[in-house]
C-alpha cells in the first residue's frame, strides 16, 4: 500500500491530495454500506409482485392467462366434465396454479428490472452528485484561498485538473464500483448482450468526463454566484437528464432537427437505445432513426455508439482547452480567437448535420 500511494503521488500529486482528504475509514465505510443497502432494497423491491398462492389467473406470468379460453373450449368440445369443472373452479377463484407459473420468465424479468434500475441510478448518481461535489470543492477552495496556491504549483494544468476529476468524486466512484458486480450479474441473468452492457459503461465514462469537465469550468467562472453554484450546476444537470424520462410516453420518431445534437449529451437517451425496455414503451428509441447529413447512423449499433463517443471526446477536449486557459488566469477569456473560430465551425457542422 505505501508503494501504491507513492506511485499515485509521483504520477499526480493533486490526486493524492484529494484521495487523502476523502478516503478515510469512516467515509469509505459509509459509502460501502450505502451501496450494499441500495442493492438490497432494489433486489427486494421487485418481490412485492412475487407470484404467491393467490396469483391471479390473468396476470403476465400465468401460462393459462392466454390459453385459458382455448383450453376451456377444447374441454367443452371433448365434453370432458372433469376439465370443465377444473376450469370453472379456476375462473371462480381467479387463481393461477403454482405449476402453471412461468418462473423462468419471472426471474428473467426480475433481473432485467434490477439491471435497468441500476443503469438509471448510475447515471443520476455519477452525474448529478459528482457535478455537485466538483463545483462545491472548487467553491470551498476559492473561499479558503487554497485555489491560488494550487495555481502557483509547478504541476501542469492537465495534472491538476485530472486530479480533481478523479479525486473529488472518489466516494461516488466507490459506491458505483461496489454495485458493478450485481449489475453485471443481473444483466447476464436477464440475457442482455455484453456488447450493450460494456457500450453503456463506455458512454457513462465518456459522459462523466464531459460533465465533470464542464462542472470544473463552471466552478471557475461562476464565482459571482457565491455558495449557490453547486446547487445551480447539479440542478441543471438533473433537469437535463430527467427530460427523456418525462417525455418517454410521447417520444417522437422525428430526429431530423438541430435539437438532436443536444440529446447526444444525455446518457439516459443512449441507455434507452441500448436497452429498449427501459421506459416500458412500445415504440423504438428516436436514435433508431438517427441521421447525420442523411447518413443512417441509427441503423447500426456501432455507428450510434461510435458517434456518441466521438462527440463526447471532441467536446471534452474543447472544454479542457478552455479549462487550461481559465485555470491559470480566471480573468482571461476562456478561448482565444482561433479556438472561437473552431468552436463556431464545429457547432454549425453538428447543427446542420441533423437538419
Average pLDDT over residues 95-116: 81
**Cβ contacts of residue 42 below 8 Å, gap of 6+?**
114, 117, 118, 121
Q: Based on the fold, state whether residues 85 and 174 are members of the same structural domain.
A: no
The CA distance from 70 to 303, in Å, is: 46
Q: Which residue has the higher pLDDT, 30 or 158?
A: 30
Asked whether residue 281 carries a pLDDT value surpassing 60, the answer given is: no
211 and 286 together in one domain: yes
Question: 208-243 pLDDT, tens per residue?
Answer: 999 999 999 998 887 666 678 888 889 999 999 998
CA distances from 316 to 83, 140, 215 (A): 67, 24, 11
Upper half-sphere CA count for residue 8 (Cβ side, 13 Å): 16
**69 and 41 in one domain?**
no
Q: Both 183 and 290 in a single domain?
A: yes
Residue 283 reports pLDDT greater than 70? no
Same domain, yes or no, for 141 and 289?
A: yes
> Has this prediction a pTM greater than 0.75?
yes
Domain count, the chain: 2
pLDDT at 341: 94
Range of the domain at 59: 54-100
Q: How far apart are the first and last CA of the chain?
A: 54
293 φψ region: left (φ > 0), alpha (ψ -120 to 50), beta (else): left
| DSSP label of 295 | B
Residues 305 and 333 placed together within one structural domain of the fold: yes
Q: What is the mean pLDDT of the chain?
A: 83
Residue 55 has pLDDT above 90, yes or no: no
From 70, 100, 130, give the residue that closes a domain: 100
Closest of 205, 283, 207 to residue 240, by C-alpha = 207
Q: 110: which residues sit within 8 A by CB, 6+ positions away? A: 46
Considering the domain architecture, whether residues 201 and 330 belong to the same structural domain is answered as: yes
Does 324 score more than 60 pLDDT? yes
Contact at 8 Å (CB) between 343 and 335?
yes
Q: What does the longest C-alpha to C-alpha distance in the chain come to? A: 93
Domain final position from 65, 83, 100 = 100
Does residue 291 sit in helix, strand or coil?
coil
Amino acid at each position: 500500500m505505501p508503494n501504491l500511494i507513492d506511485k499515485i503521488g509521483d504520477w499526480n500529486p493533486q490526486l493524492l491530495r484529494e484521495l487523502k482528504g476523502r478516503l478515510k475509514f469512516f467515509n469509505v465505510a459509509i459509502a460501502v454500506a450505502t451501496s450494499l443497502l441500495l442493492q438490497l432494497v432494489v433486489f427486494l423491491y421487485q418481490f412485492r409482485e412475487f407470484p404467491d398462492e393467490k396469483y391471479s389467473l390473468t396476470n403476465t406470468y400465468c401460462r393459462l392467462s392466454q390459453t385459458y379460453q382455448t383450453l376451456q373450449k377444447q374441454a367443452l368440445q371433448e365434453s370432458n366434465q372433469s376439465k370443465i369443472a377444473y376450469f370453472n373452479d379456476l375462473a371462480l377463484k381467479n387463481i393461477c396454479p403454482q405449476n402453471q407459473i412461468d418462473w423462468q420468465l419471472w426471474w428473467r424479468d426480475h433481473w432485467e428490472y434490477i439491471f435497468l434500475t441500476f443503469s438509471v441510478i448510475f447515471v443520476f448518481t455519477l452525474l448529478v452528485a459528482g457535478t455537485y461535489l466538483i463545483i462545491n470543492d472548487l467553491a470551498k477552495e476559492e473561499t479558503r484561498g487554497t485555489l491560488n496556491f494550487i495555481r502557483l504549483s509547478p504541476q501542469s494544468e492537465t495534472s491538476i485538473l485530472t486530479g480533481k476529476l478523479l479525486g473529488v468524486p472518489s466516494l461516488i466512484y466507490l459506491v458505483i464500483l461496489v454495485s458493478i458486480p450485481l449489475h453485471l450479474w443481473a444483466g447476464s441473468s436477464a440475457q442482455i448482450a455484453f456488447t450493450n452492457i460494456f457500450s453503456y459503461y463506455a458512454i457513462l465514462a465518456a459522459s462523466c468526463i464531459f460533465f465533470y469537465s464542464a462542472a470544473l469550468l463552471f466552478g471557475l467562472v461562476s464565482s459571482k454566484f457565491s455558495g449557490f453554484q453547486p446547487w445551480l450546476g447539479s440542478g441543471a444537470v438533473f433537469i437535463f437528464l430527467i427530460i427523456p424520462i418525462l417525455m418517454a410516453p410521447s417520444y417522437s420518431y422525428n430526429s431530423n432537427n438541430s435539437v438532436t445534437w443536444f440529446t447526444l449529451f444525455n446518457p439516459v437517451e443512449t441507455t434507452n437505445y441500448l436497452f429498449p425496455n427501459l421506459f416500458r414503451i412500445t415504440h423504438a428509441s428516436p436514435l433508431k432513426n438517427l441521421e447525420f447529413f442523411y447518413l443512417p447512423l441509427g441503423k447500426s449499433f456501432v455507428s450510434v455508439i461510435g458517434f456518441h463517443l466521438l462527440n463526447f471526446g471532441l467536446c471534452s477536449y474543447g472544454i479542457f482547452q478552455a479549462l487550461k486557459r481559465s485555470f491559470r488566469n480566471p480573468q482571461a477569456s476562456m478561448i482565444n480567437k482561433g479556438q472561437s473560430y473552431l468552436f463556431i465551425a464545429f457547432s454549425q457542422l453538428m447543427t446542420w448535420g441533423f437538419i
